[in-house]
Amino acid sequence: MNLIVGATGMLGGEICRLLRDRGEPVRALVRGTSNPEKLSHLQSLGADCVEGDLKDAATLEAACSGVTAVISTASSTISRQAGDSIESVDRQGQLNLVEAAERADVRQFILISFPHFDFDFPLQSAKRAVEDRLRLGRMTYTILQPTCFMEIWLGPALGFDFANAKAQIYGSGQNKISWISYRDVAKFATESLDNPAARNAVIELGGPESLSSLEVVKIFEQVHGRKFEIQHIPDEALLEQKNNASDPLQESFAALMLNYSAGSVIDMRETLQKFPVQLTSVKDYAQASI
Ligand SMILES: NC(=O)c1ccc[n+]([C@@H]2O[C@H](COP(=O)([O-])OP(=O)(O)OC[C@H]3O[C@@H](n4cnc5c(N)ncnc54)[C@H](OP(=O)(O)O)[C@@H]3O)[C@@H](O)[C@H]2O)c1
């Protein structure tokens, strides 16, 4: 049995779909407050939905019972309920899950994290605390560290409004990022199950090429056949936002934007030899956005 924590989220939902397509058993951790449409979608896939919350260790014991592998994509950064925070979910909640999985003799724990960034911020320190705990534990661990998801950072929620030919760019837009599709991250997560290359491994993940944001805009302009209006958010404004943030979440968002501005290049050649994943390009994504 595979337990997916974060199953009602974008990435976790895709992982459930891929596993069920392969005919593998899926137990999905859901909450009473989870979106009912997402819940019924998981049920229609044939996932066994169990109620639980990362903040409630007792529910995790039950969820981990009889499980061989846990894949955790959960995070409080976007989908939050009362009491959810980076501290209670991304740090302590994930630590609760690792403890529960260990007690239930789970064989493998796959955590979705992100690559190392040079400056400290609460979400990074939470992710690293969970990674450190996994390294010290008894389970086989796989820590996947994808860089920016194209569907998020090149999507309207973060100001990349391709439908209206407007692009908000963090920083100069000249530093390169290995943009990755969350669907490919889901493939790496499922391909990590029982893959010897994923045993006790930390694997950075990126897309097939690294492109600056300005190069990305050019691709979209070609594909959409129109000029984009670009608005830059300068590093100074992001730094000010990070330094004056009113809470750890706002500080973390500003830090993630600064990371985008600085660029994040991942060389995938070695990883692709061990994982048979056909990576989605920014051009593929742009063409699908028409
Ligand atoms: N976006 C990027 O560019 C990027 C890059 C690298 C890594 N990542 C990582 O990718 C992961 C997945 O992202 P996503 O886009 O799939 O996130 P998402 O759509 O916001 O999903 C978050 C999931 O976490 C669950 N969750 C939140 N609090 C919980 C709690 N207290 N107990 C149990 N479940 C809880 C949510 O459940 P409910 O539906 O019940 O709220 C939801 O299923 C995150 O760990 C993120 O850090 C993202």
Residue nearest (by alpha carbon) to ligand 1 atom 11:
73
Q: What is the pLDDT along the chain (290 residues), one digit of tens a residue?
A: 999 999 999 999 999 999 999 999 999 999 999 999 999 999 999 999 999 999 999 999 999 999 999 999 999 999 999 999 999 999 999 999 999 999 999 999 999 999 999 889 999 999 999 999 999 999 999 999 999 999 999 999 999 999 999 999 999 999 999 999 999 999 999 999 989 999 999 999 999 999 999 999 999 999 999 999 999 999 999 999 999 999 999 999 999 999 999 999 999 999 999 998 999 999 999 999 99
**How far is residue 190's CA from residue 255's CA, in Å, rounded to a whole number?**
29
Tell me, using a 6 A CB cutoff, whether residue 114 lines ligand 1.
yes
Please tell me if the CB atom of residue 2 comes closer than 6 angstroms to any atom of ligand 1.
Answer: no
pTM, to two decimals: 0.98
Q: How far apart are CA 181 and CA 207, in angstroms?
A: 7
Per-residue pLDDT, 47: 98
Instruction: Please answer whether residues 187 and 128 qualify as being in contact, where contact means their C-beta atoms are separated by less than 8 angstroms.
Output: no
Q: Tell me the CA–centroid distance for residue 10 and ligand 1, in Å.
A: 7
Pairing verdict, β 176-177 and 211-212 = antiparallel
State in Å: Cα 222 to ligand 1 middle. Answer: 33
CA distance linking residue 171 with residue 238, whole number of Å: 8
